[in-house]
Amino acid sequence: MLPIVLAIAPVFLLIFLGYGIRARRLLADGFWEPAERLIYFVLFPALLVSTLASAELGDLDIAPMAGALVLAIAVVAGALLLSRPILRLSGPAFTSLFQGVVRQNTYIGLAVAFAVFAEQGLAAAAVAVAVIVPLVNLLSVTVLARFGTGGQASWLGAARQVARNPLIIACAIGIVLNVTGIGLPPVAGPLLEILGRAALPLGLMAVGAGLDLSAARAVGPPVAVAVGLRLIALPAVTTLACQVLDVGPVAAFVAILFNATPASPSSYILARLLGGDARLMAGIVTVQTALSLVTLPLVLTFGVLS
């Protein structure tokens, strides 16, 4: 487990650095929102395009890994929906719990995959993003449309949101450049690679800057359920799915990793816009992020060795 801990430690130190910068106001609070937009719309897409365009995709178990990711998310999401009457939560609170279980923090997933397996891990992680992001966005928007208050979401709206997602567009471009043999073009290729290098450190610091300890102090049963399902149950189901589908070691590591990361900070924005419980969502994201420092190395170690 020690090698995984050593690989993960810098990732979380960057998150803590972002939180410290925000808490100490070393940068103006107005810095973070435009920085997050820069990361989401420019830097991370550049990283995904440059990685996928030059990756040796034939060396990865893409189909089995995608199957394991989708199967695990579908099983846990279905079980959560069936258990809603038992949970006795308001509609908005349930939508935040649901997002806290199904949504992944792609920043942490990409950073840890790169830290452990370098370029091969980053390529597998980029493929995982292409599989996960459309699925969890469709699920989240649909649940918000059904149980949230004030949201005007629909299947068509969810599909449009996915189609406009810069990460999905970047993955599609990178895969097309790869399979057609075009690869990264001159000038544009090196530019994308330079931009991509800034994505992980800035993205992780932005995660830390977005943590809300005041919301985390109001922990309750929904947060505990979200932590248990997201950080323990979902990666356990993913491990089983990887075994059943005979996923290779690197792809299995990445699949388990993505389904063991804390929920995405973007969950808070979606909860606020579409009638979820935004404060509960902030608490879930913060508590999961803090606890994943402990759970992630354990889950990855036992998941890979099982």
Which pLDDT tens digit goes with each residue over 78-111? 999 999 999 989 999 999 999 999 999 999 999 9
Q: Are 305 and 247 in contact (CB under 8 A)?
A: no
Instruction: Quote the pLDDT of residue 231.
Output: 97
| CB proximity list for 213: less than 8 A, separation 6 or greater | 286
- φ, ψ at 262 (rounded to 5°): -65, 170
Instruction: Quote the pLDDT of residue 152.
Output: 53
pTM of the model: 0.91
| Choices 1.10.3130.10, 2.60.40.10, 1.20.1530.20, 1.20.120.530: CATH for 2-305 | 1.20.1530.20
Segment holding 156, helix H or strand E: helix 155-163
Nearest to 215 by CA among 269, 290, 278: 278
What is the per-residue pLDDT across 174-203, written as a single tens digit (0 to 9) for each? Answer: 999 998 999 999 999 999 999 999 999 999
Specify the range with the lowest mean pLDDT, choosing from 10-24, 142-156, 178-192, 223-237: 142-156
Domain boundaries of the chain, sorted by first residue = 2-305
Nearest to 58 by CA among 129, 119, 124: 124
Asked if the model's pLDDT at residue 290 lies above 80, the reply is yes
CA terminus-to-terminus distance, the chain:
13
Instruction: Quote the pLDDT of residue 208.
Output: 94
Asked if the model's pLDDT at residue 68 lies above 90, the reply is yes
The CA-atom distances, in angstroms, between 156 and each of 141, 142, 171, 172 are: 10, 10, 21, 20
What is the per-residue pLDDT across 210-248, written as a single tens digit (0 to 9) for each? Answer: 998 887 776 688 999 999 999 999 999 999 999 999 999
What helix, strand, coil percent values describe the chain, rounded to 5? Answer: 80, 0, 20
Mean pLDDT of the chain: 90
- The residue among 292 and 151 whose pLDDT is bigger is 292
Percentage above 90 pLDDT, the chain: 71
What is the per-residue pLDDT across 36-48, written as a single tens digit (0 to 9) for each? Answer: 999 999 999 999 9
